[in-house]
Every structure is written in structure tokens, then in C-alpha cells.
Amino acid sequence: MNTIKAKDNSSMIVAKGLCKTFIMHNQGEQMIPVFENLDLTVDKGECVVLHGPSGSGKSTLMRALYGNYLINKGSLLIDHKNQWVDMSQAQPQQILDVRKSTMGYVSQFLRAIPRVKTLDIVAEPLVVLGEDEKNARDRAGELLNRVGVPQSLWGLPPATFSGGEQQRVNIARGFITEYPVMLLDEPTASLDSKNKQIVMDMICEATQRGAAIVGIFHDEDVRNFVGTRIYEIESKKEAA
């Protein structure tokens, strides 16, 4: 189902001819073109930095890669367990399976789940993969320690945490699984310089173990430190 065999190189993401236009049916069918004929290939061990002015469609591209936004045209292949899955055609169960074991996404904001403890939120992706709950919690604790979330907070749901604390919980959750493909949407946005450095190190370690990473980083220092390649996105909005 929607899988094409014959994987013979180290590419993890191969996007060809991607087009995305939002159509706002309740605002007089207004068309908002975001990108057209976009090609992007990301290999193992690469950290590709999406670059372009605000509103140029960087986050839209990330969300399309994750299957969160539909694309209008083009193909979007992800290497899932050594088979290509076209995210633009895949069934919901298939997309969920890709997200479970192949592709992680760290967004700018944590979507807190009511009443669930921080430690369990971070451990969840490992538990879903079948890891023993205790081991998963231990690993979650290590990561929370590394990103500097004090142990006194681990038993609380993160809904009331500060922006920076929530961001670090989100990062710990995003990095607990060694996903082969990682999408990072401004993971360092609300962090102080010390925590920023920790997260930059974590991103470099992921690249070194062979993860294919696509990221958005507004901070030039972060871009230069973690990025292996810059990918320019031009704004299509003026064309509308």
C-alpha cells in the first residue's frame, strides 16, 4: 500500500514538486499559495536548515512532511523501515506508524494533555514503541535532567510550566526516541543560552548517529552550529 521498494541510497526524505495552497472557503474562496514545485532531499546525517522570511512557508513545509498538512501536488517519500512511504498518499494508519517509529516532530509549543505527569509525557513515545514503562521513565528522567527540568516538576502536568520549561519538556519528549528522521520547528526559541547549548549538542549528536534532520532556527548561532546545509524558501505570498 503506497510503498515503493528499491531503496538504494542514503536519502531519508525525497520530496518532489510539492505544491501547497490554502483555500479559505469561508473567506470568499480566498487562495493562499505557500509553495510551488518544491524539491527537497535529505540524507542520513544531514541537518538541513529551512531559511526564509517569516510567512514564507517553512512551518507549512515541516507540517506537510509530518502529514499534518495535505499537499496539493507532488510526492513526498519518507524512508520507513527501508521502504518508501509516500506521505501525500498514505492512509492515516500508515502515517501514524511512520510517526511512531520513523519520524519525530518537535514543535514550538507543547500540547499539554490534561492531568498527565511530565515524566509520563516524556516517556510516552518509548512506551508506545513497546519499551517497558519503568525503563522508559528512567530514560525520561535522564533526558529531563539533561535539559535542566528540576525533578520537583516531573510529577506535575506541564500545563502551568513557563514557556521555557514546556519547551524543554517538549525537547526531552522529542529526543527520547532515536528517530531516523527528525523535524525541529524552532526548538531553541524560548531557551536561555545555557539550555540552548545543551539542545544544540543534542541535535548534533542526533546528526552524528545518522538521523536526517530538517529544522527551522531563527537564531543564526544555532543555525551555524547545527546545520549542515541551508535550504532557501522563497515567499510565494506576494504572487497571490
Partner 1 sequence: MNTSSPILSVQNLEKNYGDQIGCTDVSFDLWPGEVLGIVGESGSGKTTLLNCLSAQHAPTNGHIIYDTRVDGAKDLFLMSEAERRLLMRTDWGLVRQNPRDGLRLGVSAGANVGERLMAVGARHYGEIRSEATAWLEKVEIDKNRIAHLPSTFSGGMQQRLQIARNLVTNPRLVFMDEPTGGLDVSVQARLLDLLRGLVARLGLSAIVVTHDLAVARLLAHRLMVMKNGRVIEQGLTDQVLDDPQHAYTQLLVSSILQP
Residues that bind partner 1 (CB under 8 A): 22-26, 63, 67-70, 92-93, 95-97, 113-116, 128
- Min dist CB 25 to partner 1, Å, is 3
Measured from the CB atom, the residue of 65 and 206 that comes closer to partner 1 is 65
Whose Cβ is closer to partner 1: residue 68's or residue 83's? 68
Which amino acid would we find at residue 114? P
Taking the complex as a whole, the smallest distance from the CB of residue 122 to partner 1 amounts, in Å, to: 16
Residues 203, 213: Cα–Cα separation, whole Å: 8
Residue showing cell 525537547 = 171
Q: How far is the CB of 175 from partner 1 (least distance, A)?
A: 21
Task: Using the minimum distance from each CB to partner 1, give the nearer residue, 155 or 230.
Answer: 155
The nearer residue to partner 1, 170 or 195, going by C-beta atoms, is 170
Q: How far is the CB of 66 from partner 1 (least distance, A)?
A: 9
Min separation Cβ 192 and partner 1, Å: 28
Q: Which is nearer to partner 1, 4 or 24 (CB)?
A: 24
